[in-house]
Amino acid sequence: MKTKTYLSALALAGLAALATPSAAADLENLYKDKKVTILFGYGVGGTYGKTSLVLSRHLGNFIPGNPTVITQSMPGAGGLKSANYAYNVMPKNGMNLLMPPDMSMVSQLLRPTKVKYNARNFTWLGRVFGSNNLIAVRRDAGVTSIDQVKNKQILMASTGKGSPTFIVTALVNGLVGTKFKIVEGYKGSHNAKLSMEQGETQGISLAWASWKSDRAAWFTGGDKSYALPLVQSGFERDPDLANVPIVQELVSDPDAKSAADLIATSSLFGRGLVLPPGAPKELIEPLREAFWKTVQSPEFLAEVKRTKLDYSPMKGADIQKTVDKVLNMSPKAVAMARTAIFGK
């Protein structure tokens, strides 16, 4: 195919041949005076909203053409509503990005009839941070250890079955034998925290990064603190939570440990961005480069520090490899986790 014909064909699709010497100019023309939207599946007050907003203020500076970047909240089903939308409806022209729920891969494995996407087909641009999930309760809930919850019912707020507020809490119930009672329907972690603060519920399972972002004071004061951490989901204890066990330490059965490992994978994905399936492949590397330059920039780092967000960036290509590993996990581990969380 002649170069002129090739370029014309791409132009019909609204793209330029990014592999040509004029790639930078073509990409600049594509994004100049355009609007890029970051979609996230929770309320605006949590770490998804905050991280999306910080990215929106800096990402456009590193995409050729300097497009305006905005954010859009689409809460529902623990973040799955936004993932389903991104996969099936979101325009695939490079102008729309998703901050996927950290449990999106886990949900696909555990609830294949409920999700309407295949996470393999999302293209990761990178992440800002990953985080263990922590089950914490009010100190006046009447328990001081996870073992005591085996004999006392504790009300737990949840944003939906696709989120760690449900999945981690239900996993601990199923594997450890605790009596957490999950109350669904809260729109985002901000509202879930308010319910705990107002006494509607007594605890929540959230990313430790989410707790730290606006409720760090709840965990200070020693035995007089407002909140008490009970157990965390991850592959190892977070340094901030060195005295809090991970789920794998509470079970002895190898299959139960594997089930806990499966849920712990959400700690790797954290808060990042993906392109929806079908987006032009020519945009992948330029957008991955723009993302990495963004999260390494002094201005971005300064705002992360100011807004008290966690920071442990990871490149998109590396996350993509992890996604494939997660989705190829042992069927036995998947079945064990599904039974522990949703029952037989």
| pLDDT value of residue 211 | 96
Do 3-130+269-330 and 133-266+334-342 agree at the fold level?
A: yes
Which stretches in the chain have pLDDT values below 50? 1-21
Find out whether 26 and 39 touch, Cβ atoms under 8 Å.
no
| pLDDT value of residue 117 | 97
Taking CA atoms, 327 is separated from 9, 187, 250, 265, in Å, by: 36, 28, 25, 10
| pLDDT value of residue 23 | 66
Instruction: Record the pTM.
Output: 0.85
| pLDDT value of residue 151 | 97
Find out whether 145 and 118 touch, Cβ atoms under 8 Å.
no
Interval 311-340: pLDDT, tens: 999 999 999 999 988 898 889 999 999 999
Q: Which CATH superfamily is domain 3-130+269-330 in?
A: Bordetella uptake gene, domain 1 (3.40.190.150)
Interval 200-235: pLDDT, tens: 999 999 999 999 999 999 999 999 999 999 999 999
Domain boundaries, the chain: 3-130+269-330, 133-266+334-342
Please name which of 227, 114, 236 lies closest in space to residue 167, comparing C-alpha atoms: 114
| Residue 158 per-residue DSSP state | -
| pLDDT value of residue 344 | 78
- The secondary structure element, H or E, covering residue 127 is strand 123-129
**Order of all β-strands in the sheet with 314-315:** 68-73, 35-40, 96-99, 271-275, 123-129, 314-315
| pLDDT value of residue 22 | 58
| pLDDT value of residue 25 | 77
| pLDDT value of residue 155 | 98
The total of other beta-carbon atoms located within 10 Å of residue 111's CB is 16
| pLDDT value of residue 277 | 96
End-to-end CA distance of the chain: 57
Domain 133-266+334-342, CATH 3.30.70.100 — does that match?
no
Find out whether 169 and 246 touch, Cβ atoms under 8 Å.
no
d(CA 1, CA 222): 71
